[in-house]
Chains A and B, each alone.
Chain A
Amino acid sequence: MRVATDIGGTFTDLVCLEIDKESGKPIGVNVAKSDTTPSNFEQGILDTIEKAKIDLNQINFFAHGTTVVINALTERKGAKTALITTKGFRDVLEIARCNRPDLFNFNFVKQPPFVPRYLRFEVEERMNYKGQVIKELNTSTLNSIIAACKQENVRSIAICLLHAYKNPRHEILLVDELSRLFPEVEIIASFQVTREWREYERTSSTALSGYVLPIAKKYLNNLEEKLKEKGLKNAPYIMQSNGGITSINDVKDNPITMVESGPASGVFGAIALGKVINRKDLIVLDIGGTTAKCALVENGQVKITTNYKIEHSRIEAGYPIQTPVIDIVEIGNGGGSIAWIDEGGKLHVGPKSAGAMPGPAAYGRGGKNLTTTDANILTGRIHPDYFLGGELQPDYSSIEEASKPLCKSLKGTKEDIAKGILRIANANMINALKLISVNKGYDPRDFAMVVIGGGGAMHGADLARELQISELIIPPHAGVFSAFGMLMSDIRRDYIRTNVLTLVQKQRHNIQSVFAEMENEALNNFKIDGYTRENITFTYYTDLRYAGQEHYVKVLLSDFDNDTPLEAIIEYFHKEHKKQYSFELDTTVELVNFHLVAEVEVDKPDFPKMKNTGKAIEDAIFDNKEVDFDDLGIHNTPFYHRDLLEPKMTIQGPAIISEKATTTVVTPMHVVHIDEYGNLILTLQKA
């Protein structure tokens, strides 16, 4: 049996795939959910294991995704961390990039650094940009730095020296020396986190890694131990932000790679699903309680970036973390997003969310604000028996109360307001979806859309219609799809290095030797987990740009060997550049970053198929009610139990398909087919 657990902000999810011993084919899926236990995250996992009645002795594959890193960061619960930099540069972390996204607010407050100035130390040393030593490292001051750290009870030390991305020699020497002199603290240097340039971003990444290192290590150790106690034989795999899993020991060395593991696994789950149903170009949308996240998948691949920031918004600069994260756009729009009116009389939805407490007005827990969920109820799209998994009936008087102030200022009925809220929430999501598609030169019509999360299926049909996406896919267990995705992930490590050179024939040798060096690094890392060259698949990417430009285009070097002419790569770059930026230049092309992806394919199960037992579709209908489809009119609409739907069934919209964790809205313009895996496939019909 294979198990994946995913700790989210509100819930901890578990998905267990039961495999038939004889055939090796999956026979069923077991799902469990329990409350996330922030003081003691591993408890939540044990709770779900208990709930699902799983015997860990029987589990041969255990994957795990956790918010422990992002939580430690956003709640400032990491360890007291010191920073060591090149002499003259300890303030780089605090000066940051000097930008002010809240442009016209002259009374802003800059976000404070994670390491205060009195814990930022300097050592004498210097490299130039070519990685040549121009001042040797002087370690004689380390003793006084250590004394100061001891005095302040520092638990972790981060090291970031100038140009270490090019030559980490001084950082390596420092790590060795510090480990010898001060073994009781955690030590991490920038070269272990990122090999890209830009000293502020690298310093920030390293400081934040140091900050979470002790807490993450402790968590992983506890988890490993407790799972072992309960009978788990093999060490668990851990989900990373790049969409791959890796060994638990690998993550312990550099836990910052887990920072965005939840959304990553949802996207990779969609990619895996796409492979079996033969859809390689996907837009994946995950709508949760507070946010919506989306990503674009082209030919089965999602882009990985290192431009990730936490606490970044339209008004705050945020803190960069240069770690490989799948390229997602996240906006403050989810089921709990609050509708509000500004001084000028304009209606907005989000980014503020009612959360789980008090939650939407419909929860009847004192929520005084109308939310997107309430609007879905007002339009009749959520069946009262399926509200909150059927645990609760919507509190209609509370909704009525919450809608009053909006009705008054906007001079409309509560049904009008509800439709307005849904339109605006959808428009916000459309803008996010355009950011990943149209804005990057992709036509959404060339894609199928996969919607997951509790709210994805509620809004998917309207969004697909707006973007003219003809096919919408709602997988089974869409509400816990992130956990599901982990079962389908391979072991993956991303290696990225800045090494600027001109893309000309005489550099071919250099390009190959940099990649060879990176391959060696990867082989060494994988050796620890017992994998050899034969197990590993390498994929080669380069970040290319026109000389003089700053931003680059990631180019896959497929079949890059001794014979591939560089012209072919350059030609491809021109094409990609034109696609993204609408022009090409007759200028030298530069290579900025080398990006090597090393993957080990794990033995993955097939997606479980669903049997057709010959049920009658009429039996799935449990109610008929009026539902407001906004511009498509109000229709008397059948409500279906999703659990009673089977492959080969077809439903003509309008329809509502209810299940415990989500509701699928089928507009009058859509028709639904249930495929052999139990996916709902919504197809847009020509009007």
Chain B
Amino acid sequence: MEKFTLEIIQDALVAAGDEMFKTLERTSMSPIIYESLDYAVGITDTKGELLAQGNGVTAFLAALDSVVRATLEKYNETTSLKEGDVIIANTPYAGGGTHLSDVSIVYPVFYDKKLVAFTVNKAHWTELGGTFPGSVSTVATEIYQEGLHFPFIKIKSEGVFNEAVIDMIKANVRLPDSTLGDLYAGIAAAEVGSKRVISIIEKYGLETYKKAKNDFLAYGERMCIEALKEIPNGVYEGETSIEDNGFGEGPFPIKAKVTVTDTEFIADFNGSHPQVKGATNLAFSGLVTGCRSLFKAITTPRMDANGGAFRPMKVLCEPGTIVSAEAPSAVSVYYEVLITSIDLLWKILAPIIPDKLPAGHLRSVCATFISGTHPDTNQFYIQAEPLAGGWGASATHDGNRGQLSCGSGESYNIPIEIREMRYGIQVEQYAFHNEGGGYGEFQGGNGQYLDYKIISDGAHVTAAFLGEKTKTWGMNKGHDGSYNYFMIIRKNGTKERHSLGTNIYLEKGDIVRCVTATGGGYGNPNDRPKEQVLSDVKNGYITKKEAQEFYHIKK
């Protein structure tokens, strides 16, 4: 039966995606790629329909197919893409763009001189120049301050590198070895995928391959529609806000109206605040990617992603809002707006599908960038990473502890033993905290402290912790959780609490305490069995005082 052959081709495409994913992980020189896995790889057809995608983070779901489509808009003559060409792009406002740090590699795959597919990846490169180390600024007001911009250019033409561009990159970034290493790793991954696609076609023939891919897309759509039927139809609305734009201004509202039918899912963000001064803006293509990840979470979380599974979803928003920002607005902190948008849909839908969505989680990447000079090697370093915190409790279990936000996924924290060797910092503690919140029949997961002591002579920190004024949300009578923030504890003991901060100077001996939120609780705390409360006290997840005050345990 041909049906089984088609399935085998589809699985082979998914396996090729996995292989590209591994290649990039293992060859990259940026910790944010190989530890945080802040990247995605994929295969599309010649029109940019997604056939397979390997993800390290959830936030690139619309990034790969869109970047191929945008590439095809620029190179629209049949002769303008040639075998051996490789395109790089990081435009935030088009083609699945996010911020300049996320760079896409688009690799057209040729078989018998005909274009048959694209392999593509998008990864967070640690350094792309710009005003501040790490190419992230919470006080940028225009994209020009945020680093190098590659507007869909051929880094390779018919197999030959564009050395001029390579030289430009070398001259404009702070860590050229690392940046170019990421470029080569991305190309290597795409090459591996290309080889696999070609071997599939060689084995089964081009026509069967095409049939398999179309069948696969239709399958994705079917799976998605089946899942959609289980979500109660209706129109649901909600509102949230971005607390701060980095200039002490805010809050800025984001609004969403979700319409669910048996065959459609429409997320309408019209009415959200206009784009703002500062870098807390999200371009429309980033909004689509965020909506896709939430949509996937509630429809086909465990199916290999493909374009068909997103056909029933639509995103609406007029241009120029904080979630549909246009050039030349700054966007380097886009991820906070993206997660806030996901969290908004999440909060709107959780009450109707509590089996799929728990209460609110830390809702921020809590990204920190610390830069300075290594005390032993005298080399410049940038430590960039997302931080873990508490997740919300759900109708069936307590909240998870020590997890990165929903925007991450198969991302890892940086081991202390590696960071202390690589960077001029020493970690003083890495532990769950007792800042309270999250009480409920099911308890929200604890947030945590991560204390960095600066041991180099001077360093700078840039960070964005949204949720400094808003707690994570509880659900169904569960209490809200706690706050994200970072605190600088100076050598003399003075403390400064921050939400967003750019290039704050640190002296040797200063401590940066990163605090991530405890997740929201689920259900009435009075319904939590006493022995569980006592066990939480014994484990120190909550204090005796909290047990008395919120769970009415006398002892």
Contacts and interface: CB of A to CB of B under 8 A. Distances in A.
Q: Are chains A and B native binding partners rather than an unrelated pairing?
A: yes
Interface in B128-181: 177-178, 181
A685 to B, nearest CB: 20
B409 A99 contact: yes
Interface in A500-535: 500
Given A100-B404, A104-B301, A345 B356 contact: no
Given A110-B401, A197-B418, A585-B181, A104 B302 contact: yes
Among B22, B26, B397, B432, the one with the most A-chain Cβ atoms within 10 Å of its Cβ is B26
Interface stretch (A390-398, A418-426, A484-492, A672-680): A418-426
Contacts of A551: 25-27, 34
B177 to A, nearest CB: 6
A99 B4 contact: no
Given A89-B429, A98-B404, A110-B400, A103 B188 contact: no
Interface in B178-232: 178, 181, 184-185, 187-188, 191-192, 219-220, 222-223, 226-227
A116 B539 contact: yes
B417 A581 contact: no
Nearest to A89: B430
A460 B431 CA distance: 51
B541 interface: yes
Nearest to B292: A104
A162 B416 contact: yes
A345 B222 contact: yes
Contacts of B237: none
Contacts of B7: 346-347, 424
A117 B27 contact: no
Interface residue SS majority, chain A = loop
Contacts of B437: none
B12 interface: yes
Contact of B539 (A104, A117, A424, A435): A117
B293 A104 contact: yes
B473 to A, nearest CB: 14
Given A97-B413, A98-B413, A100-B408, A107 B402 contact: no
Interface string B5-34: 101100110010001001101111101001
A198 interface: yes
B472 to A, nearest CB: 13
A550 interface: yes
A412 B4 CA distance: 11
B401 A94 contact: yes
Q: Which of B27, B181, B417, B421 has the most CB of A within 10 A?
A: B417
Contact of A88 (B388, B417, B429): B429
Interface in B428-444: 428-432
A414 interface: no
A91 B402 contact: yes
Given A104-B293, A344-B226, A420-B3, A117 B400 contact: no
Nearest to A90: B431
B388 A98 contact: yes
B318 interface: no
Interface string A186-214: 00000000000111110000000000000
Interface residues of A, number: 70
Contact of A200 (B226, B415, B538): B415
B403 A110 contact: yes
A315 B222 CA distance: 23
Given A98-B412, A117-B539, A344 B223 contact: yes
A494 interface: no
Interface string B415-426: 111101100001
Contacts of B8: 423-424, 427
Contact of A118 (B191, B358, B540): B540
Contact of B4 (A91, A102, A198, A419): A419
A103 B417 contact: no
B134 to A, nearest CB: 16
Contact of B1 (A102, A128, A199, A419): A419
B413 A549 contact: no
Contacts of A74: none
Contacts of B192: 582
B108 to A, nearest CB: 18
B43 to A, nearest CB: 15
B296 interface: yes
A500 B412 contact: no
A304 B436 CA distance: 46
B280 interface: no
A551 B223 CA distance: 37
B35 interface: yes
Interface in B330-374: 346, 355-358
Contact of A103 (B25, B31, B409): B409
A357 interface: no
Contact of A91 (B1, B58, B430, B451): B430
B448 interface: yes
B127 to A, nearest CB: 12
Contact of A199 (B35, B37, B415): B415
Given A107-B394, A128-B420, A550-B35, A102 B301 contact: yes
A85 to B, nearest CB: 10
A105 B219 contact: no
A197 B35 contact: no
Nearest to B5: A423
B71 interface: no
B406 interface: yes
A548 B178 contact: yes
Given A105-B302, A439-B22, A163 B417 contact: yes
A581 B188 contact: yes
A618 interface: no
Interface in A99-131: 99-110, 116-118, 128-130
A507 to B, nearest CB: 15
A343 B223 contact: yes
Interface in A551-602: 551, 580-583, 585, 587
Nearest to A163: B417
A235 interface: no
A199 B416 contact: yes
B428 A88 contact: yes
Contacts of A431: 11-12, 15
B411 interface: yes
Contacts of B275: none
A106, A342, A500: which has the most chain B beta carbons within 10 Å?
A106
B321 interface: no
A546 interface: yes
Contacts of B401: 94-95, 110
B235 interface: no
Contact of B448 (A95, A346, A347): A95
B296 to A, nearest CB: 5
Contact of A197 (B400, B410, B417): B417
A245 interface: no
Contact of A99 (B222, B396, B411): B411
Contacts of B376: 130
Contacts of A105: 297, 301-302
Contacts of B456: none
B55 interface: yes
Contacts of A163: 417, 420
Contacts of B355: 107
Contacts of A197: 415, 417-418
20 contacts: A88-B431, A89-B429, A97-B412, A97-B413, A98-B412, A98-B413, A99-B411, A101-B410, A103-B409, A106-B356, A107-B394, A108-B400, A117-B539, A118-B540, A197-B415, A423-B5, A549-B28, A581-B185, A582-B23, A587-B181
Given A99-B410, A200-B415, 18 more contacts: A88-B430, A91-B432, A98-B388, A98-B412, A101-B409, A103-B58, A105-B301, A107-B396, A118-B540, A416-B1, A420-B3, A500-B421, A549-B28, A549-B181, A551-B26, A581-B26, A583-B185, A583-B188
4 closest A-B pairs by beta carbon, nearest first, are: A88-B429, A95-B402, A103-B409, A98-B388
